[in-house]
């Protein structure tokens, strides 16, 4: 199951640069994860300074 980014996201971009498959991009209000591209590695969740990313 893909990781998801909650509304707690502060749009810092830390997660985008750590994603090995480039599944994260800037959305309208915050960063978003492409569920089809996400490989569930968890690198993004570990890099998030506000713990806004969790397993979906």
pLDDT tens readout for residues 15-26? 999 999 999 999
The model's pTM is 0.90
Instruction: Quote the CA–CA distance of 13 and 50 in Å, as a whole number.
Output: 12
Token pair belonging to 36:
């089809």
| Mean pLDDT, all residues of the chain | 96
Domain boundaries, given as residue ranges, for the chain: 3-55
Beta-bridge mates of residue 28? none
Q: 3-55: which CATH architecture?
A: 2-Layer Sandwich (3.30)
Instruction: Quote the CA–CA distance of 20 and 28 in Å, as a whole number.
Output: 22
Kindly tell me if the per-residue pLDDT of 1 is higher than 90: no
CB 19 within 8 A of CB 44: yes
Q: What is the pLDDT of residue 56?
A: 85
Q: For tokens 């991009």, what's the residue?
A: 25
pLDDT above 90 as % of the chain: 96
Task: Tell me the Cα Rg of the chain.
Answer: 10
């Amino acid at each position: 199951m893909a990781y998801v980014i909650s509304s707690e996201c502060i749009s810092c971009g830390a997660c985008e640069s750590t994603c090995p498959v480039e599944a994260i991009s800037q959305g309208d209000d915050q960063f978003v994860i492409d569920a089809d591209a996400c490989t569930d590695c968890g690198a993004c969740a570990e890099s998030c300074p506000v713990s806004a990313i969790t397993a979906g």
